[in-house]
């Protein structure tokens, strides 16, 4: 899953780290980190007690050299006073004189920092942008990731070479989370609970082009909700193909949930409306509405979905997109959002998706959060999505 995207991000990360690290070597202090880190004040002190007052003696010598005849007396006075210092005081003084050297050294290592500049990251970021586009990331999203990353990296002070990978990784993590963040969160269970409190079934419409995985995803969601104790009704509002109704009948039978269907060619909105009425009358919790998938350029489909949305006034419209379609899935989402309005997205076939482009792009383009990912053909192959989970997955 996301193998290619992982490689792209890891390559960019390594390049920035390498560049900044080489700069830190050029601009930093000599590599005395080890030496200094292993020296403690204790080990630097000589084991044995030094000769009495070598420092004071040295000072005395120096003073002697510098004194003139006139101030001899004064100097004598000073030297006369000195023997009165206790051994502890002298030890203290000796330490004081020694310590700055050590302190200075430590300070040199701690403050050895490097500031990341535009120059350091420009080429890598440009390259990353192009590689993201090659990974089916929408152009505007690749650009946004580049900018978010630039903002976080340029001007950042990194203290110590060993901190560089951490700083770069953190910036990348934040940049990706930023583009994956939706305008508002969508929680399927909260929505259902809210409708339940209002004494009515929650209505959820699934839209998307043909073959994107709507019917399979509805079956997965029906299983998830049933496992959580909710009663589910499925509306076979894809009356376009007879096989679509049969496919859903099979799922409903296996899952033990109610299916409301019409005949092939019936008005899809009427079928969905009947399902909602049925759920309301029987006190069911959720209605999952399967819709027909055609090309997203199909104006009739968009009109049909618009009408259904107007009549049903659903709690949630979920766009189902095939992650393998990459940028095309993003374009589909954009169109569905324009005509129908989508609240959330589910991307399917992510188990076979190496590029991760659609996952990275859909929210930024439509504002709708990804709530689940389809990761296989079984009912349980549904993964709850969060930007943090995704970022961890692609940066690990």
Ligand X SMILES: Nc1nc2c(ncn2[C@@H]2O[C@H](COP(=O)(O)OP(=O)(O)OP(=O)(O)O)[C@@H](O)[C@H]2O)c(=O)[nH]1
What stretch of H or E contains 333?
A: helix 327-339
212 beta partners: none
Q: Which does 148 bind (CB under 5 to 8 A by kind): ligand X, Mg ion, none?
A: none
Binding mask 227-256 for ligand X (x = CB under 6 A): -----------x-----x------------
Binding mask 338-367 for ligand X (x = CB under 6 A): ----------xx-xx---------------
Query: How does 344-372 read in b/e, with b if 16+ C-beta sit within 10 Å?
Result: bbbbbbbeebbbbbbbbbbbbbbebbbbb
> According to CB under 6 A, which residues from 163 to 222 bind ligand X?
208, 210-216
Separation of alpha carbons 129 and 135, rounded Å: 10
Q: Which does 375 bind (CB under 5 to 8 A by kind): ligand X, Mg ion, none?
A: ligand X
Helices (H), 82-229: 87-110, 118-134, 139-153, 164-180, 188-197, 214-227
Nearest residue (CB) to Mg ion, 179 versus 292:
292
| Mode of pairing for the β-strands spanning 382-384 and 370-374 | antiparallel
Check residue 261 for interaction with ligand X (CB under 6 A): no
Q: Which does 208 bind (CB under 5 to 8 A by kind): Mg ion, ligand X, none?
A: ligand X
- CB proximity list for 341: less than 8 A, separation 6 or greater: 309, 317
Check residue 215 for interaction with Mg ion (CB under 5 A): yes
Binding mask 243-282 for Mg ion (x = CB under 5 A): -x--------------------------------------
Q: Which does 289 bind (CB under 5 to 8 A by kind): ligand X, Mg ion, none?
A: none
With contacts defined by CB under 6 A, how many residues of the chain interact with ligand X? 20
What stretch of H or E contains 314?
A: none
79-87, 210-218, 310-318, 323-331 -> range binding Mg ion (CB under 5 A): 210-218
CB 168, min distance to ligand X, A: 33
Provide the token pair at 244: 């679509």
Separation of alpha carbons 132 and 146, rounded Å: 10
For the chain, helix (H) and strand (E) counts, in that order, are: 17, 10
CB 386, min distance to ligand X, A: 18
Q: Which does 377 bind (CB under 5 to 8 A by kind): Mg ion, ligand X, none?
A: ligand X
CB 383, min distance to ligand X, A: 9
The number of angstroms, rounded, from the C-alpha of 260 to the middle of its chain's C-alpha atoms is: 40
Which residues contribute to the site for Mg ion (CB under 5 A)?
214-215, 244
Residues found near ligand X in the complex (CB under 6 A): 208, 210-216, 238, 244, 293, 348-349, 351-352, 374-377, 381
């Amino acid at each position: 899953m996301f193998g290619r995207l992982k490689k792209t991000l890891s390559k960019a990360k390594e390049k920035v780290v390498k560049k900044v690290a080489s700069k830190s070597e050029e601009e930093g202090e000599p590599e005395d980190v080890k030496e200094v880190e292993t020296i403690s004040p204790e080990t630097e002190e000589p084991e044995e007690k030094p000769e009495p007052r070598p420092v004071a003696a040295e000072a005395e010598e120096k003073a002697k050299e510098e004194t003139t005849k006139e101030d001899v007396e004064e100097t004598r006075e000073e030297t006369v006073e000195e023997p009165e210092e206790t051994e502890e005081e002298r030890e203290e003084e000796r330490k004081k004189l020694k310590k700055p050297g050590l302190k200075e050294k430590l300070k040199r290592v701690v403050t050895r920092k490097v500031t990341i500049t535009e120059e350091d990251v420009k080429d890598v970021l440009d390259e990353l942008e192009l590689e993201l586009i090659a990974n089916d990331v929408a152009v505007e999203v690749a650009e946004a990731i580049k900018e978010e990353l630039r903002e976080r990296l340029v001007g950042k002070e990194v203290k110590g070479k060993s901190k560089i990978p951490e700083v770069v990784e953190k910036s990348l993590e934040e940049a990706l989370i930023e583009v994956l963040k939706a305008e508002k969160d969508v929680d399927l269970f909260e929505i259902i609970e809210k409708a339940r409190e209002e004494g009515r079934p929650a209505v959820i419409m699934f839209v998307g082009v043909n073959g994107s995985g709507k019917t399979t995803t509805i079956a997965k969601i029906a299983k998830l909700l049933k496992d959580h104790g909710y009663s589910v009704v499925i509306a076979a509002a894809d009356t376009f193909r007879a096989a679509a109704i049969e496919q859903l009948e099979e799922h409903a039978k296996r899952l033990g949930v109610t299916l409301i269907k019409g005949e092939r060619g019936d008005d899809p909105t009427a079928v969905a409306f009947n399902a909602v009425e049925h759920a309301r009358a029987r006190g069911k919790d959720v209605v999952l509405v399967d819709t027909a998938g055609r090309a997203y350029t199909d104006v009739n489909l968009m009109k049909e979905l618009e009408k259904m949305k107007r009549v049903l006034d659903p709690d949630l419209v979920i766009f189902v997109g095939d992650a393998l379609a990459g940028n095309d899935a993003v374009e589909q989402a954009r169109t569905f959002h324009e005509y129908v309005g989508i609240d959330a997205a589910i991307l399917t076939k992510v188990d076979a998706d190496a590029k991760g482009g659609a996952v990275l792009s859909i929210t930024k383009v439509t504002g709708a959060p990804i709530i689940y990912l389809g990761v296989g053909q079984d009912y349980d192959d549904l993964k709850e999505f969060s930007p943090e989970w995704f970022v961890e997955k692609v940066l690990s």
